[in-house]
Amino acid sequence: MVQIIRDNSSMKNIKKIYFSMIAVMLFSPFAIVSAQGSNSLQNPLKDGYTSIPDFLRALLDVVITIAIPIIVIMIIYSGFLFVKAQGKPEDLITAKKALMWTLIGAAVILGASLLSYAIQGTVDEIRRDVVQSSYTIELT
């Protein structure tokens, strides 16, 4: 019974610390902005990221840059698992699962990138057609 009470009080302390840290993280940007003396938030990113789609495209490029070496390492690791299995059925199942999930993860990440560029290209093409069609003048 004493152990339960001790664990419960330590959980309360952990919750207090956790919520205090969240409060500090949430209100720190406001203190920094007010300390700078400006009434508006400044863009902390590069000047090239002026819109949300530009930022998301850059974020996806960073994810791809990080994910490709991890995918290669996981494929090599899966190959190592196949060699290590030496024909044992349970180890072969583990190696096959590792390779399958690596390839599924690679397909999801690279598919997201491909889908993002396809949608962006389509939107850019539609915008260009709308702009070009607004400049055409019909002569009668």
What is the average per-residue pLDDT within 62-80? Answer: 92
pLDDT at residue 93 tops 90: yes
Q: Which two structure tokens, joined as six digits, stand for 110?
A: 């690279």
pLDDT at residue 3 tops 60: no
Q: Where are the domains of the chain?
A: 1-37, 52-135
Q: Which two structure tokens, joined as six digits, stand for 6?
A: 């001790």
What pLDDT sits at residue 33? Answer: 55
**Which run of H or of E encompasses 139?**
none
Q: How many residues does the chain have?
A: 140
Residues 6+ positions from 85 with CB-CB distance below 8 Å: 91, 92, 94, 95
C-alpha to C-alpha distance for 104 and 25, rounded to whole angstroms: 36
Q: 3-class DSSP state for residue 138?
A: coil
Question: In Å, what is the CA distance from 108 to each residue of 22, 77, 94, 113, 124?
Answer: 32, 19, 21, 9, 24
pLDDT at residue 72 tops 90: yes
**pLDDT tens per residue, range 97-134:** 999 999 999 999 999 889 988 888 888 888 777 766 66
C-alpha to C-alpha distance for 3 and 124, rounded to whole angstroms: 64
User: Could you count the other beta carbons within 10 Å of the beta carbon of residue 78?
Assistant: 19
**pLDDT tens per residue, range 24-68:** 777 666 656 555 555 666 666 666 777 777 788 888 888 899 999
